[in-house]
Amino acid sequence: MDTQAKASPRDRLLDAAIELFYREGVGTGVEALCRAAGVSKRSMYQLFESKDELLAAGLERRAPGYAALLLPAADDPRPPRARALHVFERLEELSAEPGYRGCPYLAVQVEVKDREHPASAVAGRAKQALTDFFRAEAERGGATDPALLARQLTLVFDGASARAGAGAETLAGLAAPTAAALLDAAGMH
Amino acid sequence: MDTQAKASPRDRLLDAAIELFYREGVGTGVEALCRAAGVSKRSMYQLFESKDELLAAGLERRAPGYAALLLPAADDPRPPRARALHVFERLEELSAEPGYRGCPYLAVQVEVKDREHPASAVAGRAKQALTDFFRAEAERGGATDPALLARQLTLVFDGASARAGAGAETLAGLAAPTAAALLDAAGMH
DNA sequence: CGCCCGGGACACCGATCGGTTTCCTCCGAG
DNA sequence: CTCGGAGGAAACCGATCGGTGTCCCGGGCG
């Protein structure tokens, strides 16, 4: 038997938070959120301190899945260069999907002006995790300046995701080649 | 004598709109906006159709000044490569200033989910203008693929501005070298 | 001098905000 | 069957939202 016939209210709230805050922005009301999750406000405020906490918790929860969506498997045997490029190839694929609106963590960093906001911290950590991944690959690949290359790749990732989210242009053939040029420049062939 | 002792209500509203929407986000209320501009709501709604129109008009008005802030002078005699790099050097400088929160046009594109929103169109045009500038320089400089290079540079610009706006890291020594690597890769020496 | 009207101050509109409370039902344990 | 707690529905809180209407003051112009 399965442990739960349907997702718990907590999980439904977190899923709805991710979904709605992403699609409609962090200005989305608690009312609409609870309606989407099929949970009463009463229960929501028993499970979470505030809307801000719910937002942060939603981002936190999605972080591993988001990383899995973009990063190569830990045991992916390809060389560091290919592993790093994998992220940009995945990003190009994701950006082709209709509902794509850019990296949710970047969006939160832009929308939430208060850097003390709990969600800002979560988003910052997600970005740092990406940079750390790039840096590890850069070191393994013998890049000239691994730290710099990692920051450059994160910068390209954010730029690409932001531009794709704005919707004006497709990322196809843009993100990966740009990253490749930087890998080349850093001596990671 | 000066033509006006103080700025017109219209100008004060546009200035306040740029300032507050940038610093606090587009969720800022009309009330606070008018207070900051020293103009009554009544007058505001005589001058502008709606808050959305005011936002769009504010972005529109600031566009030339923003371009002047980043782009080299039209008669700047340096070669195309240096002219393109100028943008990223200026961006690094701007990002060092305390109140810097990233490119306002990018922020609007991220915050305003509705792509039909008048402000989205203005922001999109501002981004296009930057790409056009890069493309013109790329062509003059004999880049391998001017259109691609222009999109890459815009992507780096957006990424850099977004990351600087998030506040975690400084852009010093990051944006310009990244752009330089792409210029190199495109054969623009 | 007197009139006129631009525009500021502010009350007000219905809607919604984040958040709290009340009530009542349902469901499982004893 | 009774009891108790979890949790949904919805009223309610004061504040604020975008936007409008009213009133009244001050200054330019005939």
Hey, is A94 helix, strand or coil? helix
pLDDT of residue A1: 39
**Residue A5: is its pLDDT beyond 90?**
no
State yes or no: pLDDT of A156 exceeds 60: yes
CB A186 within 8 A of CB A149: yes
What was the pLDDT predicted at B167?
81
Cβ contact B158–A159 (<8 Å): yes
Q: What is the DSSP string of B148-175?
A: HHHHHHHHHHHHHHHHHHHTSS--TTTH
pLDDT over 60 (residue A42):
yes
Q: Is the pLDDT of residue A145 over 90?
A: yes
Residue pair B149/B143 in contact by the 8 Å Cβ criterion: yes
Q: Is the pLDDT of residue A47 over 70?
A: yes
A158, pLDDT greater than 80: yes
Q: What is the pTM of this model?
A: 0.94
Task: Measuring from the CA of residue B10 to each C1' atom, give the nucleotide at the shortest distance.
Answer: C7
Nucleotide C17: closest residue by CA–C1'? A29
Please determine, for residue A14, whether its predicted confidence score (pLDDT) is greater than 60. yes
Q: Is A138's pLDDT higher than 90?
A: yes
Q: How many CB atoms lie within 10 A of CB B61?
A: 17
- Cβ distance of B110 and A115 shorter than 8 Å: no
Share in percent of chain A as helix, strand, coil (round to 5): 70, 0, 30
C1' (C6) to CA (B43) span, angstroms: 9
C-alpha distance from B173 to closest chain A C-alpha (Å): 9
Contact predicate A165/A102, CB 8 Å: yes
The greatest distance separating any two alpha carbons of chain A, rounded to the nearest whole angstrom, comes to 57
DSSP codes, B45-104: HHH-S-HHHHHHHHHHHHHHHHHHHHSPPTT--S-HHHHHHHHHHHHHHHHHSTT--S-H
Query: For residue A2, is pLDDT > 60?
Result: no
| CB–CB contact A110 B151 (8 Å) | no
pLDDT top residue among B172 and A6: B172
Q: Helix, strand, coil proportions of chain B in percent (round to 5)?
A: 70, 0, 30
Please, what's the largest Cα pairwise distance for chain B?
Answer: 57
- Rounded to an integer, the average pLDDT of A154-182 is 94
Name the DSSP letter for residue B2: -
Taking chain B (189 residues) in runs of 10, the rounded mean pLDDT of each run is 60 94 96 94 94 96 97 97 98 94 97 95 97 98 98 98 88 96 96
Q: Which nucleotides of C are covered by protein (CB under 7 A)?
A: 7-11, 16-22
**pLDDT tens digits for range B142-176:** 999 999 999 999 999 999 999 999 887 789 999 99
Helical pair B51-70 and B118-140, crossing angle rounded to 10 deg: 20
pLDDT of A6 strictly over 70: no
A108, A120 contact by CB (below 8 A)? yes
| Measured CA angle at B55 (ends B52, B61), to 5 deg | 140
Would you state the pLDDT for residue A15?
A: 95
